[in-house]
Structure 1
């Protein structure tokens, strides 16, 4: 499943093709993906101008001139292909899953834009989805209303973490993966942020707050490492595990600099540490940490 940096990389690539353009024609080639396409989906999109393309958590959000927002989720295998009118600049975005090709049989939705460009959505496993939501109802929509703070905004700070962790009984990993607390943070980047902060994933989340609910030094440290890891990953174009692509077709490269994720049995990379990275299972998912410098 793509995480925040991968979705942000796709957003930045799509933005150049989509924003300011009118959808001249919408071609929907099947009735559903993970969920059915919205009623009269092609009709409601045809003639709409894309005013902006944003990201909320792991969702892409296209704001339309019709007063609706197009919500898009890539699922496990969703990717977009942008082809300019003169076909000189074709770009595949989101080719991260299992190395599968963008085959015609997996093309499920095609946006034909007024300038002659085309944006095609491919999804071999069809776990992605697209929804149309009226702007006035967007924040209250079931997909949106429970989401927590965006991690790269000023809203995520030590005081916020402490307030949410005060009295928490869960471990740090479960706490950080809770989308109601931090939106868009996933397994890979939780592992990397906790390593940089020197905190063990199984440690109680309550270490982020004092008995009075004030932030501890751990909250200060973790806030910084979450932001730094995500920013580093976005700069590298993402890191989802197989063949993730930038907007220009180059592979994302953050996985080449993983400090702990996927490195079971390897020496810790922290200078002076003699620990060996361990793998454990928490909440049904793999966790990686150094037992010496993460406490």
Structure 2
């Protein structure tokens, strides 16, 4: 059974590094949670390292710029690992071909297609209409409020052509303030259900955790998995991902699962147990909000 705690400081001295989710934990898609920021600042001041591990399709530089807009201060974290960086690397290596059909919001997601300097011979990726494409790159829905089923016709065509769909953000939904929106993961799930092949690189899949560990190495840190704590509000992304990697986890119950866990300041113990059994997760710790 998960241990319900009231503050990160109760357990933080057991870990040398945190892999921290952003949306729903550190900010709500509009502005930062002050208590979460303070908790991360205190952890770093005590010598711990904070890696922000996010399913954002943006490169880490783009996420850093966004954090400034959300009032998340630079001293709240050390580095960033994004699903976008992991997926970009696969795209430029040819995971879905050179001619791709793009799904998302171009003004927001253009950074995904910036040349990847780490590769010696990246492919020359070309955005084309679906009927000319070799594969699909999905950074998100065209309309985050529309049911993913509106894409069925395009997905049926793509599946019949044998296209793979590269999913840059495995999240199914996200709450922007008080509004719940669909994410790329919902489209990838639909494509898979229809018989297509979706490729994932963010949480809960291994590539983003490999990237997060490399980010620690870039900081000069050699930290064993037993000294890393995963923090997040996504049962099937953050917590399932941490479990899959053999890492301890702290479940933020006041995010996506606030209603199911009856979280006000703290989760209801019976509701939390029922929720975790339904989701087949077993987080090491749980807390209402990161504080």
State if a TM-score over 0.5 links the two structures: no
Q: TM-score interval w.r.t. the shorter chain?
A: under 0.3
Which has the larger share of helix? 2
Q: Specify the structure having the higher radius of gyration (Cα).
A: 1
